């Protein structure tokens, strides 16, 4: 199929882009890498009157160290992030998870901002952003604001961004000292969307024998990425032992209420989430003990 008729715009500055967005508002769609939007246009799931292509807005691309973390411009391609030595060193969870996003040609075109703004509940990058407690910087002709990941993702393909706002930048904080992170997922084939995916950050106490804090975030188990807060609370102060990871896995099975769909039953997703929780926590804690960060 072909898309419905639209007017194409290719601004070259952020200001011009924001002006266009302010004028056209809900009748416009932003085009980033096109890996999700183009199929949706072709299937006529969306029919915007105007398409604003972001690819010439150079202000929106780049990877920078900032405020104890890494800020990534919305139009930075996923492949650039995957190959960035700075991301590998400072945000190893992102470097690990991004390899699971589709296939190489998709990551070569797909952007960080596109994935975050699209807010697919099965997408890895929103899950990583929530696991790390990162933020999204939004810009509009009215000004800028920063939204925490926990408030940004609202539901399936729905975020806290207003129609005249674009994602300008995404900020991922670096891990605290004595921390390790890990990403695991189950998909039918490598590159498919995850049936269940999970990111963990484990911070150890000074003696390395207990968990000081843990974050555990799942994708593909709800309309948005979700944090397993009960399991996280139980992990605080718990000893670094297999029994601790097993108990966290059991809590995750109780806490999550995943949907059933064509790809997997709710029972299967809940079971897999528990198993992945155990494994990802063990791996993140081992990496923390080894000082490997990720």
Ligand X SMILES: Cc1cc2nc3c(=O)[nH]c(=O)nc-3n(C[C@H](O)[C@H](O)[C@H](O)COP(=O)(O)OP(=O)(O)OC[C@H]3O[C@@H](n4cnc5c(N)ncnc54)[C@H](O)[C@@H]3O)c2cc1C
Sign (positive/negative) of CA torsion 83, 173, 128, 224?
negative
Which residue lies nearer to ligand X by CB, 122 or 235? Answer: 122
Judge contact between 225 and 258, C-beta under 8 A.
no
Which residue lies nearer to ligand X by CB, 42 or 209? Answer: 42
Judge contact between 168 and 137, C-beta under 8 A.
yes
* Closest distance to ligand X from the beta carbon of 215 (Å): 19
Whole-angstrom Cα distance, residue 41 to residue 31?
Answer: 11
Query: Which residue of 117, 200, 202, 216 would you call a contact of ligand X, by CB under 6 A?
Result: 117
Burial code (b: 16+ CB inside 10 Å, e: under 16) for 9-24 equals bebeebeebbebbeeb
Which residue lies nearer to ligand X by CB, 29 or 90? Answer: 29
Whole-angstrom Cα distance, residue 41 to residue 115?
Answer: 16
Helix (H) or strand (E) holding 125: helix 124-131
Residue 73 found at the interface with ligand X (CB under 6 A): no
Query: Which residue of 102, 121, 225, 258 would you call a contact of ligand X, by CB under 6 A?
Result: 102
Going by DSSP bridges, is the β-strand pair 166-173/69-73 parallel, antiparallel, or unpaired?
antiparallel
Total residue count of the chain as it appears in this document = 294
Residue 114 found at the interface with ligand X (CB under 6 A): yes
Residue 193 found at the interface with ligand X (CB under 6 A): yes
Residue 166 found at the interface with ligand X (CB under 6 A): yes
Quick note: the x/- pattern for ligand X over 264-293, rule CB under 6 A, is ------------------------------
Quick note: the x/- pattern for ligand X over 9-48, rule CB under 6 A, is --------------------xxxxxxxxx-----------
Residue 258 found at the interface with ligand X (CB under 6 A): no
* Inter-CA distances, 243 with 211, 240, 277, Å: 13, 8, 12
Residue 127 found at the interface with ligand X (CB under 6 A): no
Residue ranges in contact with ligand X by CB under 6 A: 29-37, 74, 101-102, 106, 110-111, 113-115, 117-118, 120, 123-125, 166-167, 193
């Amino acid at each position: 199929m072909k898309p419905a008729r639209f007017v194409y715009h290719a601004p070259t500055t952020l200001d011009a882009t924001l002006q266009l967005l302010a004028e056209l508002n809900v009748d416009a769609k932003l085009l980033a890498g096109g890996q999700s939007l183009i199929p949706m246009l072709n299937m006529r799931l969306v029919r915007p009157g105007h398409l604003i292509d972001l690819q010439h807005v150079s202000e929106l691309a780049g990877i920078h160290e900032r405020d104890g973390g890494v800020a990534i411009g919305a139009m930075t391609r996923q492949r650039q992030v995957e190959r960035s030595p700075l991301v590998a060193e400072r945000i190893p969870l992102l470097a690990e998870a991004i390899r699971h996003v589709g296939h190489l040609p998709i990551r070569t075109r797909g952007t960080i901002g596109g994935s975050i703004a699209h807010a697919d509940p099965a997408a890895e990058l929103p899950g990583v952003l929530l696991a790390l407690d990162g933020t999204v910087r939004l810009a509009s002709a009215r000004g800028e604001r920063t939204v925490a990941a926990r408030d940004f993702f609202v539901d399936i393909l729905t975020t806290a961004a207003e129609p005249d706002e674009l994602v300008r930048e995404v900020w991922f904080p670096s891990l605290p000292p004595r921390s390790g992170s890990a990403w695991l997922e189950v998909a039918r084939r490598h590159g498919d969307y995850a049936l269940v995916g999970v990111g963990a950050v484990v911070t150890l106490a000074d003696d390395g024998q207990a968990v000081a804090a843990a974050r555990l975030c799942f994708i593909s188990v709800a309309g948005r990425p979700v944090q397993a807060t009960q399991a996280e609370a139980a992990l605080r102060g718990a000893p670094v032992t297999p029994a601790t990871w097993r108990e966290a896995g059991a809590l995750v099975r109780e806490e999550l209420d995943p949907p059933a769909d064509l790809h997997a039953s709710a029972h299967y997703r809940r079971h897999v989430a528990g198993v992945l929780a155990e494994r990802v926590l063990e791996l993140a804690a081992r990496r923390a003990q080894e000082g490997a960060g990720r």
